[in-house]
Structure 1
């Protein structure tokens, strides 16, 4: 039976969050990119820690941790430690160079190096990661509302998506940040309040009278079989390094007032993420200890096929109604805090890096705001659709890092730390190789057949035991280095003419040097047969930043060619 009081409470909560989001939007000073996407780079450390923690501790994080402890035990519950470590590693590797370059989005360094079109291709794996991530948190909310309030999964997921998208549209990162603070407070209150009740009431329904968490039959630690060591290590690496190249993370890092605060932001948020996983995992252990058939209102076995409902089921059956409502509020707040961040991050990258820089460099601020709003609606709708068709919350929370780990991580490492050695040819080759190897490895959960069966393939379970995702990631990075090096050697030694064969414009300086060498101070005959003197001095000076009459060099991504002049990476046209 539908819980009308609980439904009314959820509606009130959503309305309150929406009001906070709209109010936060009034703090925007203008509709500029930094103001909307980075809150004017004026976020303090305290608020930054709260918003990043709330973003990472999403509904998929909480529900998925409870699910993992119930199904496989602590040994395979890698999301909390993996994602927390990713924050620390991200701080060590990327905070300083990203902030010093004054970037706005994670894709900016790619477009600076490879050009707008090639760099924009990396939006696709980033989008896939965000969409799966948003879907995982929306699925967790759908499971919770369906179990506790008996609301249709379709309506719970859809309405939640609409509200999250609505206040994100209203105020950009300002709205996301302020609502995250409120939502994290509700997460802490809900979990801390409901946990003691769940522990106390579970005692009368234990599988055996003297059962404790240390009893052998509980086995909440779990174990890793020897044939699964490679998969276990790869899963952890995927979460750590695949948890870094996210716009939601860099959006927080770049929005803080100082680089020092950005370091503290990552470390403190990692600590809070670990702490928040403890009560969530404890709910999974409680579910292991309880004999569900002995609970009067439930009266049947609870198995792993229903594992995505572990947390909401414990709240409903082992807590008083009013306490369960607060626990549901924690899950709801966790979902909203992550969904809005994911929606804004992908929408920001599309608006800036795809629409503006690749297609409409002269777009007005008002036009970009409308594009951002449309992108928010489309991305939210796509994530909602996936959430409604998924069976496992934990699976989605891992899958979202998969494509990011294989394709984006090696690309980001190389463009930041070896930017003088990489080029567009290496980028495209690495992109293609990583994607193909990942697809051929298969993914049964989304219907991808396993074309390549790597060593150790388990025919019975149809699963890969070889760490093929890490293999694909390393292959992608190695191919990037090899192809970039070969391309540089071929063009710089004139084995292939840069003017004719450098179709990506990866070596503009070679075009200029060759033109100067062949034509400087000489007469040049045009197609019309008119002889005219020509020197390439204006072009060379423009590349050096000393003259802007023929070529405009864009030193930062906030600058655009004023009147259609040629961008530096497009010198292959000359």
Structure 2
């Protein structure tokens, strides 16, 4: 649905000024990037305020703002277990379990760790998986940016996505992690102010019904008629007794619980093994800063993330018959245009763009690091730092343009985001975690876990697809028969748990069965020294 906002020229003007500021920061940062460490991990000198801004900005993008509000409108809180709840969980788990060892390892990228701990084959496969996931995530963010431009100017979504890609390329190319970090805290501040503004104004509207309406666990408060605040799957007995609905998104039995596990684990666990968030942790000036920033960021994230969730509930009261296509990508924009003064709309849109640009820049840099930095070393082990930096920069536009193609293909923010992290969950997370904490993990087990996890996911998808197709027949107005989009995504999510199970089992069984043939490599840091695992917990203070 294409619209033109009455004051669209104001919004475009504000965005133009904001983009020029970003590009100026990118140019300024480029003058201070002297080596790979500056470009990839900001010289490992980020303190707590910058780290919190960077970590929150990593995830607080289109999925949380525009996607989560639409998902709440459609499904209630069960639609947003993925994000913000899963994303906040990811940050806390990183702080408690992984931040110390990641920062202690001194690697530039996760691919470095996989090669050191296992071998080049595992590293290459992990790089491929991470690259696909990062491009899917960037694609989701570009859809969000494109939707904003489309809504306020009336240009096609394809053109909107294309314009956003161009800005992303220039900004990230110039300054790398240094530029991204320097703007993250400011951008999160703009996001926070803009989200609070629309939240206060919308919640003050008499027609919303106040907090009693928002927090009523009523199935009539969302499009699908699901108990509004049922976070976990609901038993059939309880649903019958309360005249509500059973299961998770209407899936009962093991499928309901598998769906819930997929929802909380896709981002909450899968994205632990993502390059972009680990690259942020590697940028901390100390272990303690990395730990504290991850945990604090998790708390900040859930507080900010609940704003679009609550707005999604309010939106259903304000717009019970909103067009389906608008709900998925543009609902917050509709609310802003209808209820905010023109000046606040400009600030609000700049806040949304700030969230998108922070996340997209980090993901683009992560993808370029995987291809340029790690790929360059694989092709030429003796590559100089200057050449490695040059190749990393060259692949910034390549990664962004490939992500552009993904965005143009799928055009749905929330599902695209979750699918990207589900891929990491079934393939990379188990070798990542075992690589740090299980000395018997070897390359044979890691390869089996990565390949078997993916194949288990695919098998689960095809097993559940007939069931999810039947469940999504005649469900969307105007669509005759099966609504294939939802049928496919439901099967993807539910089937992913079999991928996780396969990955864990194969990692353990194959590693133990091949200990003599493929001896496990020691856990070492980037300098080849034994990596100290003791004292890994983020709950215990460290001297480092």
User: TM (normalized to structure 1)?
Assistant: 0.77
Distance 2:43 2:23 in 1: 21
Matched residue, 2:414:
394
The answer as to whether partners of 1:144 and 1:311 remain within 8 angstroms in 2 is: no
Give the 3 Å change call, closer, same or farther, for CA 89–342 of structure 1 in structure 2.
Answer: same
Structure 2 distance, partners of 1:556, 1:233, is 33
Distance 1:405 1:467 in 2: 13
* Counterpart position of 2:371: 350
Q: Residues of 2 paired with 1:211 and 1:479: CA distance?
A: 49
Query: 1:72-97: per-residue Cα shift (whole Å, max 9, x none)?
Result: 11233111111111111112221222
User: 1:397 deviation in Å?
Assistant: 2.0
Q: Deviations over 1:482-508 (max 9, x none)?
A: 22222224x3xxxxxxxxxxxxxx459
Distance in 2 separating the partners of 1:112 and 1:291: 54
CA apart distance, 1:98: 2.0
Contact preservation (8 Å) 1:148, 1:313? no
Counterpart CA distance in 1 for 2:423 and 2:211 is 46
Establish whether residue 42 from structure 1 lines up as the match of residue 45 from structure 2. yes
How far has the Cα of 1:209 moved from its partner? 12
1:230/1:465 contact within 8 Å kept: no
Q: Tell me which of 255, 270, 275 is aligned to 2:283.
A: 255
The match for 1:90 is 94
* CA RMSD, Structure 1 to Structure 2 (Å): 2.8
Matched residue, 2:423: 403
In 1, Cα distance between equivalents of 2:497 and 2:213: 39
Written as runs of structure 1 = structure 2, the 5 A alignment for 1:128-207 is: 128-200=132-204, 202-203=205-206
Q: 2:310 aligns with which of 282, 290, 294?
A: 282
Match of 2:18 among 6, 10, 13: 13
Match of 2:385 among 360, 365, 379: 365
Q: Structure 1 CA distance, aligned partners of 2:189 and 2:175?
A: 21
2:70 aligned with 1:63:
no
Which one has the largest radius of gyration? 1
8 Å Cα contact 2:441/2:507 also seen in 1: yes
Give per-residue Cα distances to partners, 1:444-476, cap 9 Å, x unaligned: xxxxxx2x3499766343554994312211211
CA distance 1:374–1:147, change in 2 (3 Å): same
8 Å contact kept, 1:456–1:465: no
1:11–1:428 Cα change, 3 Å: same
Aligned length: 478
Q: What is the CA–CA distance in structure 1 between the aligned matches of 2:49 and 2:215, rounded to whole Å?
A: 38
Q: Is the 8 A contact 1:54 1:338 kept in 2?
A: yes
Q: Which deviations, in whole Å up to 9, do the C-alpha atoms of 1:192-226 show, x marking residues without a partner?
A: 223333344x546x6x9999435654358254432
More helix by share: 2
Q: Label 1:454 to 1:484 Cα distance change in 2 as closer, same or farther (>3 A).
A: farther
| Aligned counterpart, 2:470 | 459
1:221 aligns with 2:242: no
How far off its partner does 1:432 sit? 1.8
The aligned counterpart of 2:292 is 264
Aligned to 1:115: 119
Q: What is the TM-score when the length of structure 2 is the normalising length?
A: 0.81
Cα pair 1:454 1:466 within 8 Å, conserved? no
Q: Give the match's secondary structure for 2:428.
A: helix
Task: Report the Cα distance in structure 2 between the residues aligned to 1:129 and 1:348, rounded to whole angstroms.
Answer: 14
- 1:339 — aligned with what? 360
Change over 3 Å in CA distance of 1:61–1:159 after alignment to 2: same
Distance 2:519 2:202 in 1: 64
Aligned partner of 1:105 among 99, 105, 109: 109
Q: Does the CA-based 8 Å contact 1:407-1:431 persist in structure 2?
A: yes
Is the contact made by 1:21 and 1:168 (CA closer than 8 Å) also made in structure 2? yes
1:485 aligns to what SS in structure 2? helix
Give the secondary-structure state (helix, strand or coil) at the position aligned to 2:32: coil
1:58 alignment partner, SS class: coil
Residue 499 of structure 2 corresponds to residue 472 of structure 1: yes
Q: 2:351 aligns with which of 330, 336, 352?
A: 330
In the alignment, structure 1 segments of 5+ residues that lack a partner are: 293-300, 443-449, 492-505, 510-542, 544-553, 560-574
1:290-329 counterparts in 2 under 5 A? 290-291=318-319, 301-307=321-327, 308-329=329-350
* Partner in structure 1 of residue 240 of structure 2: none
Question: Do the aligned partners of 1:62 and 1:277 also contact (CA within 8 Å) in 2?
Answer: yes
Closer/same/farther in 2, CA of residues 233 and 313 from structure 1, 3 Å limit: same
1:431 corresponding residue in structure 2: 450
Distance 1:167 1:291 in 2: 37
In 2, the alpha carbon distance for the partners of 1:183 and 1:110 equals 33
Deviations along 1:265-296, whole A, 9 cap, x unmatched? 1011111111111222232122101146xxxx
Match of 1:245 among 258, 273, 281: 273
In 2: Cα distance, 1:243 partner to 1:465 partner: 17
Does the aligned pair in 2 maintain the 1:51–1:181 contact within 8 Å?
yes
* Aligned match of 1:76: 79
TM-aligned CA distance change 1:288 to 1:13, over 3 Å: same
* Corresponding residue SS for 1:36: helix
